[in-house]
Amino acid sequence: MNRSLLFLFAFCIATAQAQSPVSLIPQPASVQPRTGVFSLTKSASIHYNKPEAQGVADMLGLRLNVPTGFGIAARPGKTGTIQLNLTDARQAELGDEGYTLNSSPKGVVITANRPAGLFYGMQTLLQLLPAAIESKTVVKTARTWTLPAVWIVDHPRFGWRGIMLDVSRHFFTKDEVKRYIDQLARLKYNTFHWHLTDDNGWRIEIKSLPKLTEVGAWRVARAGHFGDRAEPKPGEPATYGGFYTQDDIRDVVAYAQARNVTIVPEIDVPGHSMAALAAYPELSCTKAIVSVNPGTSFSDWYGNGTFKMKVENTLNPSDEKVYEFLDKVFTEVAALFPNQYIHVGGDECYKGYWAQDPGCQALMKKLNIRHVEDLQGYFMGRVEKILTAKGKKLLGWDEILEGGISPGATVMSWRGIKGGIEAAKEGHNVVMTPTTFAYLDYNQGEVTIDPPIYATLRTSKSYSYEPVPDGVDAKYILGGQGNLWTEQIPTLRYAEYMTYPRAWALSEVFWSPKEAKSWPDFVKRVETHFDRADVAQINYSKAIYDAIVKTSMNNGKLRLELGSEAPGLDLYYTIDDTMPDSFSTRYNQPIDLPEGPVTLRVITYRNGKPIGHLITLSRDALQKRVGRG
């Protein structure tokens, strides 16, 4: 080969390497691809320039060594092929969580002001390596461990980037919680909201109130759809459940701290307290004996958002013993969790029992309040004083605005964005977590495919979210959070399925610059992360590949419109009771359905191969969708 051809060949290779896609989630603030690659070999070294960086360096060594089998050790120094450097002079642009990453054929340098920034830079470095780096065992097949040359400057948009896990409806072991936290940390989430108490189980040891876990942590075993289960039978043993000892809590907190994740515990009061009342029934208005709820229908919900409880699940705001109880609870909770917040719930508090209780009526008269709803404001004020005495700040769902709260209270807006807007305009800090964009327990796609739940939230909708509403001062919006309620989620594997890829989408909403968001580009990166999740043995939904079926009426005929979240898919359908494939009718315009007992069958293809689920909908099912959007 002559010298000119050799140069051209080398140039083409270098150009291809420089233009190879960088598929990172969340998208960094700035990514500049460069020419060449860095090859990780047995001779690689990890050095860190300051003792505070050692924890991240050791963690990186472990992450690299497990799949490669190299045995790379981290040690102090400034000449490593992978260098982790804390700055001597703070770079204002990076803040506490930002970093720069400079990779070249010579090596990789990650620089940050704080160890948190190095940690997030490490996550980016790992995503630049092949998917096999996610393996939990040594990869025995021959492989080249390379990452592209690139210059990255990165820092988060919001300081609060959270995911909530409900462990009351279904108990997850300490190790499962740690695995979930580890997954979130890799996506640059920094807050884990731990929903520890509710009607269906009390999950945290309170040593001064032992019955909370002796009784409140256990319920009768039941199978089937949550909300449709049978009531406990007299004398039936309560065998399903569990709780975390205080040593368990300390272990999980330390695990999270090492991954720059703050744990915010939630003790949900005054409603959602049936598990607590099963242990201490004297704290309710009626003093009635109740059981930890196993998933029965214990409330009636009306179309206007109001509801009525069939069984009391609310603490009595007029009873001083309730506040003595809460003082004991929060004393022990505050000692276990070093962060500044304790979440106190405050949502869906049914006040019907308060309205009928003589003690509550006397308290209302004493306080000169006319509406029973205002008792919640009184209750939350008392709770806030308890928390303040322990050096903690009150955080609650947006219902805590009812009845008034102190200026120092922080609001988590879940019933849409209205509560967040109201709270911010009153000068409260707000975490945005609306059902319409952030509820991870909702179906991800076609409702006939996944097990039924009461609403749908597609990944594209989560990705479209903008946490700062128009007309609101951004300084009050701390950030956002996705919430995973677990009525229908009994295992960690299914929790993962419901979390991803929507938590990938929300991670980008909360971390990346607003102007950097692009749904078509995000889908491409999601598909590379499907491969990475497969290697990491993390479950996820592929609903973005499924057809979306919308219906309307057109001149008396039922009209069908088909689409998909992922761009570039071909949709094939039948309405003649045959199974569709790539030789069936390809969808390219709305379909007016002929009269008769017609059934739609539709499936998505890419490059001539099926990629989505087969969806089958009868005429009646299609008719019911008219007007739903």
- CA 440 and chain centroid, separation: 6
DSSP-derived 3-state class of residue 109: strand
Enter the tokens of residue 537. 């043995």
Out of 154, 166, 205, 348, pick the active-site residue.
Answer: 348
DSSP-derived 3-state class of residue 477: strand
Phi and psi dihedrals of 109, rounded to 5? -125, 120
Q: What is the DSSP letter of 5?
A: H
Q: What is the DSSP letter of 439?
A: B
Single-letter residue type at 588: N
Handedness of CA 79, 84, 88, 94 (dihedral sign): positive
CA-based nearest residue to 148, from 282, 291, 40: 40
DSSP β-ladder status, 477-484 and 547-554: unpaired
CA-based nearest residue to 242, from 280, 272, 214, 267: 214
Out of 47, 170, 193, 272, pick the active-site residue.
Answer: 272
Active site (annotated) includes residue 527: no
How far apart CA 504 and CA 474 sit, in angstroms, is: 23
DSSP-derived 3-state class of residue 548: strand
User: Dihedral of the CA atoms 472, 476, 479, 482 (nearest 10)?
Assistant: -80
| Packed helices 115-128 and 174-186: angle between N→C axes, nearest 10 degrees | 80
Most distant CA atoms of the chain, gap in Å: 99
Enter the tokens of residue 20. 């190879």
Active site (annotated) includes residue 272: yes
How far apart CA 434 and CA 303 sit, in angstroms, is: 19
Enter the tokens of residue 174. 């300490």
Q: In DSSP terms, which residues pair with 480 in a beta bridge?
A: 161, 432
Single-letter residue type at 464: S
Phi and psi dihedrals of 158, rounded to 5? -120, 150
Out of 166, 198, 384, 450, pick the active-site residue.
Answer: 198
CB 218 within 8 A of CB 283: no
How far apart CA 330 and CA 445 sit, in angstroms, is: 40
How far apart CA 281 and CA 619 sit, in angstroms, is: 51
603 — alpha (psi -120 to 50), left (phi > 0) or beta? beta
CB 469 within 8 A of CB 480: no
Active site (annotated) includes residue 348: yes
The string over 594-618, giving b where at least 16 C-beta atoms fall within 10 Å of a residue's C-beta and e elsewhere, is eeeebebbbbbbeeeebbbbebbbe
Phi and psi dihedrals of 623, rounded to 5? -60, -35
How many C-beta atoms surround the C-beta of residue 62 within 10 A?
A: 11
How far apart CA 48 and CA 53 sit, in angstroms, is: 6
Q: In DSSP terms, which residues pair with 571 in a beta bridge?
A: 604
Which residues are tagged catalytic?
198, 272, 348
